[in-house]
Amino acid sequence: MTPDLLKLLRSVDTPTVCNAIETAQGKRGFDAFTRGTMLCSAPDAPAIVGYARTAKIAAVAPPTEPPEVIRERRMAYYRYMAEGAHPSVAVVQDLDVPQAIGAYWGEINTSIHKGFGMSGALTDGVMRDLGDLPDGFPVVAGSIGPSHGFVHVREIGTEVTVHGLRIASGDLIHADRHGALVIPDDILPRLADAIETLLRTEKIVLEPANRPGFDFAAFEAAWTAFEKART
């Protein structure tokens, strides 16, 4: 991923990238995206873009392993998050879903991950401290709650599933208030052109639709030009 592509990806929303991937692939049917409604701690912030650093947590019940094992895994988790290639995104599956109660993503934890230089977090679990989360580190989460419960790390670097989306460590993530997706590696060389093409062709309909006097005749002409530009 080039610096120019990274800048472009951060400037557009996740639905645009979802459509652009289909443009790059030359067909409909791309399905590597989250399902259902997710919540974003900073809905007006730029999109989260980066390579996934994956983990699994649980919080409803206390851990059954010895405290020293839990602490060692926690430190291994933070080392793993800190040492990943940038840009990076923390992607954490909560094993308690749909009964998740442990707000892993609060003021302290988000500040730690931001300090590591990470771009944001994606989780099907819980976030809190919404008025105190640091700027520049959006969290896209499954829910909001007040408690951290008995939150502890269960797995590090394994494949996770967040709102129906399977994510492996190292996958390229794009996420915002709409949800998240995994960008296929093979379309990266064509993705910038696909995004620019998509934005350009959308204007064929959007510009007339926003002018005074827009009617069916104007729509029909714009839509004909729009379909021609897409083929």
Domain edges within the chain: 31-183, 189-230
Residue type, 169: S
What is the pTM (predicted TM-score) of this model?
Answer: 0.94
Per residue in 73-122, pLDDT (tens digit) is: 999 999 999 998 999 999 999 999 999 999 999 999 999 999 999 999 99
HEC string for 192-221? HHHHHHHHHHHHHHHHHHCCCCCCHHHHHH
CB-based burial of residue 151 (10 Å sphere; 0-12 exposed, 13-18 middle, 19+ buried)? buried
Of the options 3.40.50.10950, 3.50.30.40, 3.40.50.620, 3.30.420.40, the CATH number for the domain spanning 31-183: 3.50.30.40
Task: Tell me the binding residues.
Answer: 128-129
Task: Tell me the binding residues for substrate.
Answer: 128
Q: pLDDT band for 22, please (50, 70, 90 cuts).
A: very high
Structure-token pair, residue 45: 């912030």
Task: Tell me the binding residues for Mg(2+).
Answer: 129
Per residue in 208-228, pLDDT (tens digit) is: 999 999 999 999 999 999 988
